[in-house]
Amino acid sequence: MSEQTSQLPSYITSATPNPAGNRAPWYKNTAPTYAGIFLWFVFWQDAANASAMGGLLSHGIGWALISLVISAAICHFLFYLVPGMLGMKTGLPLYIVGTSTFGAQGGFILPGFLMGVLQFGWLGVNVYFSSLAINAMIPSIPANVIMVIWGVLAAFVGLKGIKYVGMVATYLPLIPLVVLLLLVAKTAGGIGSFDPQKFVELHKATVPAAPAALSTFGVLAFMMTFVVGFFATAGAAGVDFGTNSRDKKDVSMGGIIGILVAIVVTGGLAILAVAGAYGSPEICKQTVEAGKGSIILQAPGLIPVLFGAKSGLIMFLLAIAAFPPACFSSFIAANSFRTTLPKVNPFISVGIGAAVSIALAITGMAGKAIVVFQIIGASFGPVCGAMMVDYILSKGKWTGPRAGFNPAGWIAWFLGFIVGILPIGAVPDLIRPNVPFGFVTTFFGIERFWSYLCTSCAPVAAFIVGATVYLICSKLGWRSAVIPIPAKK
């Protein structure tokens, strides 16, 4: 064994590619699994939601749907496709494939350990919203008690393995699809009559203190923030999905149907339901009265208005259907920790993570879903951006692990994360003419656009920064050497 090869951690040298015999067509693994993620009501409930007047419908149904399609395309082509191809070509999981971008030592932490940690943010969001929905049906059980039970059960099933997760994920995701179709059926009569200007005026009259309506680009940027932020970690996890794909067609079709189409269908139905509710005079009146001084922009908020006494049962079913995503989050976290913390009992590491998730839910912090999406997008936007450039520079091949902490990858991630995580209003200062790179945006006349992108769509800005910085660092020679993996005997 060479001196270079001896630098490789055992988790890399012991990794075994998923054999071709274990792989299956896209419609048996990638597509249905991804589609199940977007059927989770916590995703589609915000498809029309924004605090500004008129929400994401302030410029009409058409523009909201176009913004949704663009966001879905970004998820598929920028965040998923390259990881999926890398997984298919190598047969190796994310924490191994990521070592070509972040180094043999660095990949252990990023994306490996970080992927596991962020799953508990997702679990917290799931616990919060699902428990509130169950509490609406069973008010005799305090929401906090339900949160504890829900979080513990999800963590336990996730720890048991994918076999048990799959057992709870076979048919439950169909429930949200049926609910969405029922919502649209109930409000279809008002879709053609929806007037965005009248809706903005109604919002202003109902909530005078609401922020002004978003611009057309503002609607697109906000849509990208919530869609891409929601998807960011799942995009990087495309490596793991790719290991189960037989060829390029499986990777591509799995993403087109499971990601692009699934986003457009679930988010689109939610948008149509909200627009239809406010386009129908009768339903609009009932919705405004139910809002009690606020405007209902989340599709599940229409359920009590449209279904009356049955609404509790419907919300209960939506909550039950959200259990598989909670188990998947726990399962991914368990796999990550088994690899990155091999000496720690998974029940301890996942148990601590689950406790944090439950605490986030009980305190209400996990209820700020859009903020959670921004944090996750900021964390994994630059990861996906750097991996894409690394893939292009290596001409569509996986180079193999790089020594130590690959400087190009870590610099790209750090700067991308900073752009993605800084509070709105702080980011533009980073790209003014008196700061490095500011002259570029000014010279090309895109400073205002870039400022808006950073402050309104941080996950995409983080991706762009991660990709650009990795390219620059690579051209400067700031990539550590590739270490060959010894052939297994």
Give percent above pLDDT 90 in the chain: 60
> Considering only 177-186, 221-230, 300-309, which range has the smallest mean pLDDT?
221-230
Specify the long-range contacts of residues 5-10, CB closer than 8 Å, at least 24 apart. 5/483, 5/484, 5/485, 5/486, 7/104, 7/403, 7/404, 7/483, 8/104, 8/401, 8/483, 8/485, 9/104, 9/105, 9/108
Q: How far is CA 15 from the centre of its chain?
A: 27
> Considering only 64-73, 125-134, 252-261, 326-335, which range has the smallest mean pLDDT?
326-335
Instruction: Provide CB contacts within 8 A for 139, sequence distance 6+.
Output: none
Tell me the pLDDT of the chain averaged across its residues: 87
- pLDDT tens digits along 272-282: 999 999 999 99
- Residue 101 near residue 409 (C-beta atoms within 8 A): yes
d(C-alpha 314, C-alpha 134), whole Å: 10
Token pair of 376 as six digits:
């996750």
Q: Top-level CATH class of 23-371? A: mainly alpha
Token pair of 401 as six digits:
């692990």
pLDDT at 439 over 70: no
pLDDT at 456 over 70: no
- Residue 227 near residue 68 (C-beta atoms within 8 A): yes
Q: What is the mean pLDDT of residues 250-262?
A: 96
pLDDT at 428: 38
> Considering only 114-123, 134-143, 258-267, 443-452, which range has the smallest mean pLDDT?
443-452
b (16+ CB within 10 A) / e for 4-34: eeeebeebbeebeebeeeebebbeebbbbbb
Q: Which amino acid is at 264?
A: V
User: For the chain, what is the total number of helices (H) and then of strands (E)?
Assistant: 27, 0
Domain segments of the chain: what residues?
A: 23-371
b (16+ CB within 10 A) / e for 101-131: bbbbbbbbbbbbbbbbbbbbbbbbbbbbbbb
pLDDT at 76 over 90: yes
pLDDT at 489 over 90: no
| Residue 482 three-state SS | strand
| Residue 298 three-state SS | coil
- pLDDT tens digits along 460-472: 889 999 999 999 9
Q: What is the mean pLDDT of residues 351-359?
A: 93
* 483 phi, psi to nearest 5 deg: -110, 120
Q: What is the mean pLDDT of residues 325-348?
A: 80
